[in-house]
Amino acid sequence: MARIRVYSTDYCPYCVMAKRLLERKGAAYEEIRVDHDDALRQEMMRLSGRRTVPQIFIGETHVGGFDDLSALDRAGGLDPLLAA
């Protein structure tokens, strides 16, 4: 299974929904909390080009936020990406 990184904060409902979707898929992920570490937030912004959380990476692919992850799942593209 591909390495999954989820940049998140403690108080973000979209982060919770993204992590739940990944858990339903049986995918293990690394959660990177950016709410107390400005260097990690800067890393997230540099890698994704976005300021909002969550930012989800599967392997080297930047999926985006929860809406992007959910749309990818509905389109049938999430499972193959997770299996890569």
The CA distance from 49 to 29, in Å, is 21
Average of per-residue pLDDT values in the chain: 96
pLDDT higher than threshold 80 for residue 1: no
Question: What domains does the chain contain, in order, with CATH numbers?
Answer: 4-83 (3.40.30.10)
Give the CA distances from residue 75 to residues 12, 15, 62, 79, in Å, rounded to whole numbers and listed in that order: 25, 20, 16, 10
Average the pLDDT over 47-76 and give the result: 97
Answer whether 0.75 is exceeded by the pTM.
Answer: yes
The CA distance from 17 to 75, in Å, is 18
Pairing of strands 4-8, 30-33: parallel
Query: What's the pLDDT tens digit per position in 14-26?
Result: 999 999 999 999 9
Task: Please tell me the predicted confidence (pLDDT) of residue 76.
Answer: 97
Stated length of the chain:
84
Query: By the 8 A CB rule, do 64 and 37 touch?
Result: no
